[in-house]
Amino acid sequence: MTDPNPSGSVPKKRVFIHRQAREMAKNVLDMCIEERQNKHLIFNLNNAFDRASRYTGLSKRTLAAIQNEAKKGPLCTPSKKKRPCNKKNNLNVDDFDRNVIRRIIEEFYLTKKIFPTCIELLAAIREKIEFPWRATSLRKLLKEMGYKWHKRRILVERPAVACARSNYLRKIRQYRQDNRNIFFLDETWIDKNLTFKKCWRNEMIDTVLTDTSSTYRLILVHAGTRGGFINGAKLLFKAGTTLGDYQGQMNSIHFEKWATEILIPNLPQNSVIVMDNTPYYIVQENRVPTLSSTKTIMLEWLTKNNVETSLTMSKDQLFRLVQLHKPTEKSFKIDEFIRSHGHVVVTLPPYMCNLNPIELAWAKVKRIVKNHNVTSNLSLSRLKEVTELALTQVTEEDWCAFNDHIIILEENYWQRDGLLEDTIDLFVTKVSDCEDSDTKSNMSESDDN
């Protein structure tokens, strides 16, 4: 039998050259042929990157990256794993920009007298603020802001959101007419590395400061009224301690302790307290079991509410009793506690923190801290001192201006909401009439056929 490889050498493995490598090989060969015909080098020998770039067709930046990679080890094909998500893909729109978007929507209805498509709204938003996201993200944001598309065409606020704002405006207007003492409370952070951003505007405040995630920050809880911050109602502590934390560490237990020991003793009788719907504010009292609750929880709730039950009853029977005896309105623990001391609690409507004047007070406090923070690296003790100083510099005149600004906003919302209701109802009626006429015409055509 004849030896297929008489020399005894190992046959070479066939190499498959991909398209990009073939193109580079052709570029190199063409350049070599051109230099042979011209009998001189096109580039000087010292210009290594220029020569390699011209020969291969790759940029000098790419060649430099390949050179650096070769120094670390053998070259390999780049990974085809999905690239890390770009920050622009994270939909993070602050409250200021959300209210700009809200005003743009109102402008479409009240000024332009048209209902916007998502694309039209996106174009209008990008004219006013930086909005790098696309229409899909805008739809998601609008849903988070309490909007929905009626009949997939008309953008409207969810009825519950509009109703909550209407109820709040009606209540707060009545309390103002009755000359009740109205106190607004909230919490914020004071960071050692403050940077300017945006906030609710008036003649005195045009910017606010943004979180820079420094090594430590202070949490500030306070309450104020037209006459200024309440004396003795301040709570200031370092985030990460056992007391709690803003947006995470501050919880219902710590908030109730602050309200019990600090806030309530410093309030005049028969006050009105305005707060937002932060989760630890709205811990439910006598929480009603749901269908997914255990049988034991249902029995405990029914017994607590003096409803006769039996251990032999099925879960379905117990749930029917729960539905029959549940209160018409939800009751919240902190609300009941404050009411027990002779005060009234009013909750800000969803997505409406711009109706809280203390937000403007926070903006001034942070501006003062920034002005004292030249190196952007205050020590913790110095940061506390500067924050204490900033709080004293928010004067009664400032609070009067903040409250006047909020009253104007409340009146504007009151008027615009009424106009919006009529305008949107008109659009909904027109769309419904068009759909009905189209349906009738289609039915008549089918009957003719």
pLDDT at 393: 94
pLDDT at 124: 92
- What pLDDT shows up at residue 313? 86
Q: What is the pLDDT of residue 196?
A: 45
Three state DSSP letters for the chain: CCCCCCCCCCCCCCCCCCHHHHHHHHHHHHHHHHHHHHCCCCCCCCCHHHHHHHHHCCCHHHHHHHHHHHHHCCCCCCCCCCCCCCHHHCCCCCHHHHHHHHHHHHHHHHCCCCCCCHHHHHHHHHHHCCCCCCHHHHHHHHHHCCEEEECCCEEEECHHHHHHHHHHHHHHHHHHHCCCCEEEEEEEEEECCCEECCCCCCCCCCCCEECCCCCCEEEEEEEEECCEECCCCCEEEECCCCCCCCCCCCCHHHHHHHHHHHHHHHCCCCCEEEECCCCCCCCEECCCCCCCCCHHHHHHHHHHCCCCCCCCCCHHHHHHHHHHHCCCCCEEHHHHHHHCCCCEEEECCCCCHHHCCHHHHHHHHHHHHHHHCCCCCCCHHHHHHHHHHHHHCCCHHHHHHHHHHHHHHHHHHHHHHHHHHHHHHHHHHHHHHHHHHHHHHHHHHHHHC
- Return the pLDDT at 448: 55
Which class would CATH give 178-286+327-405? alpha beta
Residue 237's pLDDT is what? 84
**What is the tens place of the pLDDT at every residue in 23-77?**
777 777 777 887 787 777 776 666 777 777 777 777 878 878 887 777 777 777 6
Residue 276's pLDDT is what? Answer: 84
List the pLDDT tens digit at each of the 449 positions of the chain. Answer: 455 555 555 555 666 667 777 777 777 777 788 778 777 777 666 677 777 777 777 787 887 888 777 777 777 766 555 455 454 456 788 777 888 898 899 888 888 888 888 999 999 999 998 899 999 999 999 998 888 888 777 888 888 888 888 899 999 999 999 999 999 998 888 877 664 444 444 444 444 444 444 567 788 899 999 999 999 999 888 876 444 334 445 677 777 888 888 999 999 989 999 988 765 556 666 678 888 888 888 888 888 888 888 888 888 888 888 888 887 766 677 777 888 888 998 989 888 888 999 999 998 998 888 888 766 667 888 888 999 999 999 999 999 999 999 999 999 888 887 766 667 666 666 666 565 555 545 545 555 55
**Per-residue pLDDT at 250:** 64
Q: pTM for this structure?
A: 0.62
